Amino acid sequence: MKVTRTINHPLREGLTWRQRWARDDNGLIACWESGRELSKKDPDKADQAKKGELVKLEWKGGVSEKLVQDVLRGTLFYLAKWQGLRGDDLDIDVDGDTVLTCIKTGQVVLFNKELLP
């Protein structure tokens, strides 16, 4: 299943918790929207993400230094928020793997549904 949403969509407002988190997208749209909001509050972090840094966020997937392990596992919630932070369209293949390498640390991070509830 793919979860997509164009950056041209306005942020959703007035939704209940269930409407944001308990739908087919599993809350990925809510995370992406949260990233869009964060980009306005923290433009420096947004600039870092736009450069390809996997900045620290509340979800597992961001890195501040290269770790001993070759590949770190990250959650799709992180990937969705990071895409929103960068100002990208939401584009996540829930059934596939996405591998990103942090431009700052060189750390490889694998994102997939394994860490979804």
| pLDDT tens, N- to C-terminus, the chain (117 residues) | 999 999 999 999 999 999 999 998 999 999 999 999 999 999 999 999 999 999 999 999 999 999 888 999 999 999 999 999 999 999 999 999 999 999 999 999 999 988 665
| Residue 17, pLDDT score | 92
| Residue 44, pLDDT score | 98
Return the domain boundaries, the chain.
2-115
Q: Measured between alpha carbons, how far is 81 from 111 in angstroms, rounded to an integer? A: 12
pTM as predicted: 0.94
Q: Measured between alpha carbons, how far is 63 from 84 in angstroms, rounded to an integer? A: 18
Q: Residue 50: left (phi > 0), alpha (psi -120 to 50), or beta?
A: alpha
| Residue 113, pLDDT score | 87
Closest CA to 83 of 67, 95, 97, 100: 100
Closest CA to 30 of 77, 87, 74, 75: 77
